[in-house]
Amino acid sequence: MKDFKVLKFMDRFKGLFKSFGIDYDTMRKILQVKLTLDGRRVPTVMNNNSYKNEGNSIKKSLGFYILLGLVLVPFVISNQNYLFQMSFLFGILMFMMMTILISDFSSVLLDLRDKDIILSKPVDGKTLSAAKTIHIMIYMFFITFSFTGPSLAVSLYRNGFLFFIIFLLSIILMDLLIVALTALLYLLILKFFDGEKLKDIINYVQIILTIALSVGYQLIGRLFDFSNIMNIDFVPKWWQYLLPSMWFGGPFELILKRNYDPHIIFFSVLAVIVPILAIIIYVKLTPTFEDNLQKLNSSSGIVKAKNKGFNYHLSQLACRTKEEKTFFRFATNMMKKERDFKLRVYPSLGLSLVFPFIFLLSDFKNEGWEYIASSKLYFNIYFIGLMIPTVLMMIGYSNKYKGAWIYKILPFNDTSAIFKGTIKAFIINLLLPMYIFESIIFMIIFKGRIGLDLVIIFINIVLFTAICFIILEKTLPFSEPFESANKSGKFIIIPLFLTIAALAGVHYLSTKIVYGRYIYLLILVTINLFIWKKAFNVKIEGNHSPQ
C-alpha cells in the first residue's frame, strides 16, 4: 500500500499524538487505507465529468480549484484597505470551503461503517475519531491551499513575507473553524431531526455548490468594480461581530497597518480564539456526535397516505388516461425524492434560472434600466430551454434502477402513457414553477408589456421539449443506472440548441409583423397539438420494455 507524503510528515509529530492518548500507529494505518480509497471518490465539482473514472479524481479537482482561485487574486494586490479586502476574500473562501466540506466530505464525517467495522477490532474510539478528523483536515487543507494558492503566491510577492504568514495562519484557523462548525451543525440537526432530514440538507448544499461554481465566475466580473472598492471606510456595527470573515480581516489591519482601534483588536482576538475553542468543543462532543450518527440509519417512520393530495389532483388536471396519471404521480415522486437525480438535474435548472439575468447585467451596467425596459432583451428567457435536453436524458436514470422490473409486468403494451405522463410531470413540477418565477421578474423589468411574448415563449419551450424527446435516445423512466449516463452521446445536444434558437428567431421575426405574434401563437398551438399526439407513440426495445 502506498505510503503518502502527508503521513511521513505526520510522523514527526508522533509524540504529540501519543501525549493525547492516541494510538498513533493504528491511526496511521487507518489514514493510509482511507487516503488510498479516496482516489476512487469523485468530487462534486467533477460529477458530470465523463473522464472522472480515469485516475485520481480528487487530484484532478485540485487543478480546477487552483484555476478557480484566481478570483481571489485582486483582493491581495492592493494594500489600501486590509480589513475590507481580506474580509471580502475570507467571505468568499469560507462559503466555498463550507459548501465543499458539506458536499464532498459529509460521507466521511458521517460514515457509520468505521464504528461498525473498526471499533469491533482492538481500536479505541479516541483513535478512530482522531483518524476521521485528520482525514478530513488533510483534504480540507489540500483544497484550501489549492484554492488560495494563486492569492498566497501573489501576496508574498506583492505584500511581503509578514502578510503571507498572517494569511497562511488565518487560512489554517479558518479551516479548523469550518470543520468544527460543520460537525456541530450536524450534531444539532441530528439532535432534533432524523437522518433523512440531514441527508436532504446535504443534497441541497451539493446542488448550491454546483450552481455557485458554475455561475460565480460570471457574476464576479459583472457585479463588482474592483477599482473603487478599496476606498470604503470602516464604520463599526454590532452585527459585524457575527461575521467570521470580519474576524479574519482584523489581524491584517492590526499588525500591518498598526490600527489599534478596539473593534480591530476584538476582531483579531475572535479570529484566534473562536476556531481553537470550536475545535476543542468538537473533540469533547465527539462521543455524543458518534452516538447520534445512528439516526442516519433511521427515518421518522411516519408515512402519511396522500392518495388524494396535491400530486393526485395535478395528475387529474394534466393527464387524460388512467395509465398516464399513474406515471405522472410516479415521476413526480421520483423527481422530488431521489437525491442523486436532484444532484444531477437541479444544478441545470439553477443555471437556466440564472443565465437570463446574467446576460441582462452587461446591458444594465452599460445602458441602464430604461434601455432594457424598452428593448427586446426579454428573449433571454429562452435560455431556460437549454436545460431541457439534459433533464430529459437524466429522467432515464436512477439509483433505484433495479426496480425497473415493474415495467415487465405492466398490464398494457403502450409505452406512450409512460413517457407522456413522465414528461408532463417534468413540465408541471420543474419547468413551469421556474418559468412562472422568471416571468414575474421579467414582467417587472419590462413594465408588463411582454405578457403575450411570455405565453409564446412557454409554448415554444413545450414544443421544444417534445422535439427533444423525439430526437433523443429513448429510455424508460428511471430504468438505468447513473453510471451509464456518462457513456451516452451528448453531441446531439448542440443541434437541439440550434432548434430552440430557430424557434426564438421565428418569434423575433413575428414581432416585426402586424398581428404577427397572434398568428405565430395560433400556429404554435396547432403544431404542439399535432406533435404531442404523435411524439410519444414509440416502442422501446430492451430488458425493461413492457411485455
- 230 confidence band (pLDDT: 50, 70, 90): low
Close Cβ partners of 146 (under 8 Å, ≥ 6 residues apart)? 62, 63, 65, 66, 69
Site of grid cell 485582486: 74
Query: Is there a contact between 401 and 479 (Cβ–Cβ < 8 Å)?
Result: yes
**What separation in angstroms does the CA of 367 have from each of 374, 422, 439?**
11, 43, 22
Q: Read off the pLDDT of residues 40-96 as tens digits, 9 standing for 90 and up.
A: 555 555 555 544 444 445 666 677 788 878 888 888 887 777 888 888 888 888 877
Query: Is there a contact between 7 and 34 (Cβ–Cβ < 8 Å)?
Result: no
Strands (E), 150-219: none
pLDDT in the model for residue 365: 63
Q: Is the dihedral of CA 198, 201, 205, 211 positive or negative?
A: positive
Does residue 291 sit within a domain?
Answer: yes
Q: Read off the pLDDT of residues 377-396 as tens digits, 9 standing for 90 and up.
A: 889 899 888 888 888 888 88
Distance CA 439, CA 418 (A): 30
Q: Are residues 406 and 266 in the same domain?
A: no
Q: What mean pLDDT, rounded, does the chain reach?
A: 78
Q: Read off the pLDDT of residues 205-223 as tens digits, 9 standing for 90 and up.
A: 766 766 665 565 455 445 4
Q: Are residues 325 and 270 in the same domain?
A: no
Total domain count for the chain?
2
Distance CA 393, CA 348 (A): 12
Strands (E), 63-184: none
Domain limits for position 325: 310-534
Q: Are residues 199 and 278 in the same domain?
A: yes
Does residue 47 sit within a domain?
Answer: no
Query: Is there a contact between 196 and 295 (Cβ–Cβ < 8 Å)?
Result: no
pLDDT in the model for residue 423: 92
Q: Are residues 519 and 371 in the same domain?
A: yes
Does residue 502 sit within a domain?
Answer: yes
**Among 508, 509, 384, 513, CA closest to 442:** 384
Q: Is the dihedral of CA 342, 435, 533, 524 positive or negative?
A: negative
- Segment (H or E) for 11: none
**Among 155, 185, 200, 178, CA closest to 95:** 178
What's the gap between Cα 286 and its chain centre?
Answer: 28
Q: Read off the pLDDT of residues 439-450 as tens digits, 9 standing for 90 and up.
A: 999 999 888 889
Query: Hey, what's the torsion of the CAs at 452, 457, 460, 462, to 10 degrees?
Result: -100
pLDDT at 521 over 90: yes
Distance CA 278, CA 176 (A): 8
pLDDT in the model for residue 111: 66
**Rounded to 5 degrees, what are φ and ψ at 473?**
-65, 135
- The 3-class secondary structure across 413-476, one letter per residue, is CCCHHHHHHHHHHHHHHHHHHHHHHHHHHHHHHCCCCCHHHHHHHHHHHHHHHHHHHHHCCCCC
**What separation in angstroms does the CA of 98 have from each of 76, 180, 210, 259, 489?**
22, 11, 13, 30, 34
Share of the chain above pLDDT 90, in %: 15
Does residue 195 sit within a domain?
Answer: yes
Give pairs for 293-300: CB < 8 Å, separation 24+.
293/110, 293/112, 293/115, 293/190, 294/112, 295/190, 295/194, 295/195, 295/198, 296/110, 296/112, 296/190, 296/195, 296/198, 296/199, 297/112, 297/195, 298/194, 298/195, 299/194, 299/195, 299/196, 300/194, 300/196
Q: Are residues 172 and 34 in the same domain?
A: yes
Q: Are residues 33 and 108 in the same domain?
A: yes
**Among 86, 272, 293, 280, CA closest to 181:** 280
Q: Read off the pLDDT of residues 466-513 as tens digits, 9 standing for 90 and up.
A: 998 988 888 888 888 876 665 554 556 777 888 999 999 999 999 999
Does residue 269 sit within a domain?
Answer: yes
Does residue 421 sit within a domain?
Answer: yes
Q: Read off the pLDDT of residues 310-324 as tens digits, 9 standing for 90 and up.
A: 777 888 888 888 888
CB atoms under 10 Å from CB of 397, counted, come to 23
Q: Are residues 290 and 317 in the same domain?
A: no
Q: Are residues 275 and 324 in the same domain?
A: no
Coil vs helix vs strand at 397: strand
Distance CA 381, CA 505 (A): 13
Does residue 357 sit within a domain?
Answer: yes
Q: Are residues 289 and 320 in the same domain?
A: no
Higher pLDDT, 416 or 289: 416
Distance CA 421, CA 434 (A): 19
Higher pLDDT, 77 or 300: 77
Distance CA 391, CA 193 (A): 31
- 456 confidence band (pLDDT: 50, 70, 90): very high
**C-alpha cell belonging to residue 536:** 410519444
pTM greater than 0.75: no
Does residue 49 sit within a domain?
Answer: no
**What separation in angstroms does the CA of 33 have from each of 26, 30, 37, 259, 292?**
11, 5, 6, 48, 25
What average pLDDT does the segment 154-167 reach?
90
Higher pLDDT, 370 or 325: 325
pLDDT at 330 over 50: yes
First-residue to last-residue Cα distance in the chain: 50
Q: What is the CA radius of gyration of the chain?
A: 27
Q: Read off the pLDDT of residues 14-49 as tens digits, 9 standing for 90 and up.
A: 888 888 788 888 888 888 888 887 665 555 555 555
Q: Are residues 284 and 339 in the same domain?
A: no
Q: Are residues 33 and 122 in the same domain?
A: yes
Mean pLDDT lowest among 22-26, 118-122, 227-231, 250-254:
227-231
pLDDT at 172 over 60: yes
Q: Read off the pLDDT of residues 102-130 as tens digits, 9 standing for 90 and up.
A: 766 666 666 667 666 776 777 777 787 78
Q: Are residues 410 and 276 in the same domain?
A: no
- 417 confidence band (pLDDT: 50, 70, 90): confident
pLDDT in the model for residue 295: 64
pLDDT in the model for residue 352: 80
Distance CA 184, CA 106 (A): 13
**Rounded to 5 degrees, what are φ and ψ at 261?**
-60, 135
